[in-house]
Amino acid sequence: MVNSNEDYDRSDDLKRFEESKTGVKGLVDAGHNTIPRIFVHPPEALSDLKPVSDTPPESIPVIDLSGFDSDRRAALVDQVTRAAREYGFFQIVNHGIPRAKLDRTIAAVKAFHEQPAEARAGLYTRESGTGFSYMSNVDLFQSKAASWRDTMTVRLGPADPSLWEHVPEICRDAVAEWDREVVRLGGLVLDLVGEGLRLGARRLRELSCLEGRIMVGHYYPYCPQPDLTLGLRSHADPGVLTVLLQDHMGGLQIKHGEVWVDVKPVPGAVVINVGDLLQIMSNDIYKSVDHRVLANSCQEPRVSIAVFLNPGKREELYGPLPELILPEKPALYQRFTFSEFMRRHFTKELDNKSLKNYFKI
């Protein structure tokens, strides 16, 4: 039962949950039919979970990438540019990644999270020195309420061959294969969004935006009280672009205007979204928007895999690109190192901390 005692001290519950080292999946396996209080969000955080009208808003654009190297490219650049300006999110199909490889990646991350509790507990850590970590809620001890999910994280770039000995064997090959696909596809999408800004060919690649890759494999098990919590609270991604693979379960939503829009799963599609750093580099031409994941009310778990494309050159200065600073539109943001940018990202809880506002001039 949810404890209504105003003097409730959540530190003991947090400690007990963390020391179990089995995450939310451990709670589900133990047969909990109510969620611990540390996962209960305040009513104001959940007030807009229900549809505001009988007519749901449209979903985000779906862009067919076939013919990207033909005379269709200009039209594709226009579509990508419009989606990045208006929604900050879009889905891509006919991207060249076989459906079997998408399914294998999802299955491998699912298999990692569904190992026996003792196998997972041996890997549970908040330290990322090896390039691999597994935990529940990166901001567990900073947030007002935890979210109903567990996460494995892999630092994929800059390239480090020694990384792979730390990635569990159960998902190692699939993750390595997925990284190769993301490098190819992410490079193409970076080129398209760069062309939409009328930048030189491969300009964003030259700024090392493909080199600092971080992968997170989220696992959202069944939640017995989905109206009291979230799978992932509202937030904006900090980096350049995010390449997201989601399964068929649904639950991802983006903020579009004043309403939440479902990112409905499209078979074989990959989701792309703009991060805060790309909005800053584009001098507000592209939009990094808030998004969230609803708690999973289905018995079947939801799995998603996001790869964040970040600069590999962490100590160089970033800000609005010189080509996009004009007399009629001066720079809207300060310049900063990527290290400082990410340090600020991790000093607060996940929600309500877009870095765009902090670096605004």
Structural domain spans, the chain: 22-318
Where residue 1 falls among pLDDT bands split at 50, 70, 90? very low
Residue 5's identity, in one-letter code, is N
Token pair belonging to 239: 């980096």
Token pair belonging to 347: 């000093």
Average pLDDT for 290-301:
97
The secondary structure of residue 260, as a DSSP letter, is E
CB 250 within 8 A of CB 264: yes
Token pair belonging to 221: 């098990």
Instruction: Determine the length of the chain.
Output: 361
Q: What is the pLDDT of residues 84-98, one digit of tens each?
A: 999 999 999 999 999
pLDDT of residue 353: 53
Where residue 357 falls among pLDDT bands split at 50, 70, 90? confident
Where residue 55 falls among pLDDT bands split at 50, 70, 90? low
In the block, tokens 């300006």 appear at 85
Burial class (CB in 10 A: 0-12, 13-18, 19+), 7: exposed
3-state secondary structure of 246: strand
pLDDT of residue 236: 93
Q: What is the pLDDT of residues 101-141, one digit of tens each?
A: 999 999 999 999 999 999 999 999 998 888 999 999 999 99
Where residue 348 falls among pLDDT bands split at 50, 70, 90? low
CA dihedral 130, 135, 139, 140 (to 10 degrees): -140
The more confidently predicted of residues 134 and 355 is: 134
- Quickly count: other Cβ atoms within 10 Å of residue 209's Cβ: 27
- Res 67 pLDDT > 60: yes
Q: What is the CA radius of gyration of the chain?
A: 20
Range picked from 40-54, 92-106, 335-349 for highest mean pLDDT: 92-106
For residue 124, the number of C-alpha atoms closer than 13 Å in the C-beta half-sphere is 23
Q: What is the pLDDT of residues 11-41, one digit of tens each?
A: 999 999 999 999 999 999 999 999 999 999 9
| Percent residues over pLDDT 90 in the chain | 80
pLDDT of residue 201: 81
pLDDT of residue 54: 53
3-state secondary structure of 54: coil
Average pLDDT for 267-289:
97
Q: What is the pLDDT of residues 214-250, one digit of tens each?
A: 999 999 999 999 999 999 999 999 999 999 999 999 9
> Structure pTM?
0.93
| Percent residues over pLDDT 70 in the chain | 93
3-state secondary structure of 216: strand
pLDDT of residue 354: 64
Neighbouring residues of 255: CB distance < 8 A, sequence distance ≥ 6? 234, 261, 289, 290, 291
- Res 59 pLDDT > 50: yes
Average pLDDT for 71-83:
96
Residue 127 to residue 336: CA distance in whole angstroms: 26
Q: What is the pLDDT of residues 252-270, one digit of tens each?
A: 999 998 899 999 999 999 9
CB 72 within 8 A of CB 80: no
Domain range 22-318, CATH architecture: Sandwich (2.60)
pLDDT of residue 159: 79
Token pair belonging to 180: 């190769």
pLDDT of residue 350: 46
For residue 187, give the nearest of 203, 163, 167 by alpha carbon.
203
The more confidently predicted of residues 317 and 4 is: 317
In the block, tokens 């539109």 appear at 329
pLDDT of residue 3: 45
